[in-house]
């Protein structure tokens, strides 16, 4: 079976099997993400502690993702991914058992969130650089877009299912489902032909290799712009695990099902944005990346003044659409720009920026929401982000003149 142009990466058997197993696991992960946020609010009723959990969960990415990118360039990626997926499965199972036995406390959730962060910091650069081996350079834009679409399809299905399960059965079943989802990924990885071997024998120390990757990214203007845009949007926009439960509970007065519905609308928009990028044959243009970032931040600001679910749903849709348009475009641009021997390290910079600044953004959102409300957090981050995008656009224009 030949897939259409926008889905052409699925013509590669290893990628196709890995992709569908990942989507199933990501649905479970999104069920856990929204359930974990709801559980924290049940245990503490504290926006600050919700933001602190997100900070702990993403702190390993901030601290260690550059190192993990060098590790991904040195080690076979397939066994590395098997190890990370096994760790994630055990993390979900332990959380499920704590909840099911009635022994869960906030510090348990925080410690396990930190463990999840350490697994993800190794998993992300290895998984993203593995894509090129699975599909080749010609189809990498389709693969990146499909990965973004799958991630955000899970963002639709996972929260919607989680909201229903929480309301009817409680929080423990969602954590069990998340743990089971990783088994399919592990089996798929073990059956793959591709091993994700490093391009050659490492001659330099790991710190010299890290420095080489950073020098390459810093010395390539288009990479600097893409990484700068990812930094701004990740810091200001992608704090939905903090934004949306507070918007649902404190502004719109919704329960668990309404919270899941809001997250689903965000995911629908994000899937649309990812598929739009995948349908394009050419490398994303600088203009399209700047426009996408500007529109995502503008809709984020609009969420700061909405008080009705009828307005919140389309605004979340468009925030997800333009936000993922930007992220998928930058990811594709970085993958195509990076040489094979540096791809793990360059993608680790993308991971560091996209996930590593999240603890800072989550802490800012949680703190502002604690003292002034989540609506002020939307307005503050939207304004800050638009100023950042404007500065990057001015730098790019002056550099070219």
Print pLDDT tens along the chain (401 aa): 666 556 777 777 788 888 889 888 989 888 888 888 888 888 888 878 887 887 788 778 777 777 777 777 777 788 889 999 999 999 989 999 998 888 888 989 989 989 988 888 888 777 877 777 777 766 777 777 787 778 777 777 887 788 788 888 888 889 998 999 898 899 988 888 766 666 555 556 667 777 777 788 777 788 889 999 999 998 888 877 777 888 887 888 877 777 777 877 887 888 888 778 766 656 778 888 999 999 999 999 998 888 888 888 889 999 989 998 898 888 888 877 777 667 667 777 887 787 767 777 777 887 888 888 888 888 988 899 999 999 999 998 887 65
Judge residue 146's burial from the number of C-beta atoms within 10 Å of its C-beta, 0-12 exposed, 13-18 middle, 19 or more buried. buried
Angle between helix 309-337 and helix 286-303 axes, rounded to 10 deg: 150
Q: Which whole-number Å values give the CA distances from 13 to 43, 76, 151, in the listed order?
A: 45, 19, 19
Phi-psi region of 188 (alpha: psi -120 to 50; beta: other; left: phi over 0): alpha
DSSP 233: H
Q: Which residue has the tokens 């990057």?
A: 392
Contact between residue 50 and residue 177 where contact means Cβ atoms under 8 Å apart? no
Q: If DSSP codes are grouped into helix, strand and coil, which group holds residue 7?
A: helix
What is the Rg, in whole angstroms, of the alpha carbon atoms belonging to the chain?
Answer: 20
Write out the residue range of the structural domain in which residue 177 sits: 5-198+205-400
Distance, CA of 297 to CA of 294 (rounded, Å): 5
Domain count, the chain: 1
Q: What is the pTM of this model?
A: 0.69
CATH number at residue 116: 1.20.1250.20
Distance, CA of 397 to CA of 395 (rounded, Å): 5
Tokens of residue 118, six digits = 């350490």
Distance, CA of 171 to CA of 167 (rounded, Å): 8
Closest CA to 32 of 147, 145, 139, 112: 112
């Amino acid at each position: 079976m030949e897939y259409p142009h926008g889905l052409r990466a699925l013509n590669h058997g290893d990628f196709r099997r890995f992709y569908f197993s990942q989507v199933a696991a990501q649905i479970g992960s999104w069920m856990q993400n929204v359930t974990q946020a709801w559980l924290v609010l049940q245990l503490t009723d504290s926006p600050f502690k919700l933001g602190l959990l997100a900070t702990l969960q993403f702190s390993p990415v901030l601290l260690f993702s550059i190192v993990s990118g060098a590790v991904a360039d040195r080690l076979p990626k397939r066994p590395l991914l098997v190890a990370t997926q096994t760790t994630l499965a055990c993390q979900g199972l332990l959380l499920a058992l704590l909840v099911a036995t009635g022994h869960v406390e906030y510090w348990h959730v925080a410690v396990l969130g930190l463990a999840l962060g350490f697994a993800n910091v190794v998993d992300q650069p290895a998984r993203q650089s593995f894509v090129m081996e699975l599909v080749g350079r010609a189809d990498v834009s389709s693969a990146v877009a499909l990965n973004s679409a799958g991630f955000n399809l899970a963002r639709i299905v996972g929260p919607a299912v989680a909201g229903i399960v929480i309301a009817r059965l409680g929080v423990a079943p969602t954590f069990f489902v998340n743990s089971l989802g990783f088994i399919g990924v592990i089996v798929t990885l073990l059956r793959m032909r591709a091993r994700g071997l490093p391009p050659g024998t490492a001659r330099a120390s790991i710190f010299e290799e890290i420095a080489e990757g950073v020098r390459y990214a810093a010395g390539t203007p288009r990479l600097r712009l893409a990484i700068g845009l990812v930094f701004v949007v990740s810091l200001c926009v992608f704090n939905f695990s903090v934004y949306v439960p507070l918007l649902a509970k404190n502004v719109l007065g919704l329960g668990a099902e309404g919270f899941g519905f809001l997250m689903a609308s965000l995911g629908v928009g994000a899937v649309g944005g990812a598929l739009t990028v995948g349908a394009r044959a050419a490398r994303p243009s600088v203009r399209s990346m700047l426009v996408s970032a500007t529109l995502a931040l503008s809709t984020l600001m609009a969420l700061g003044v909405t008080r009705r679910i009828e307005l919140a749903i389309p605004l979340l849709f468009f925030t997800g659409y333009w936000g993922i348009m930007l992220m998928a475009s930058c990811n594709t641009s970085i993958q195509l720009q990076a040489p094979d021997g540096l791809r793990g390290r360059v993608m680790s910079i993308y991971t560091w920026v996209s996930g590593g600044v999240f603890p800072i953004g989550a802490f800012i959102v949680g703190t502002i929401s604690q003292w002034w409300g989540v609506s002020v957090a939307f307005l503050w981050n939207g304004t800050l982000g638009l100023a950042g995008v404007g500065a990057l656009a001015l730098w790019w224009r002056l550099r070219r003149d």
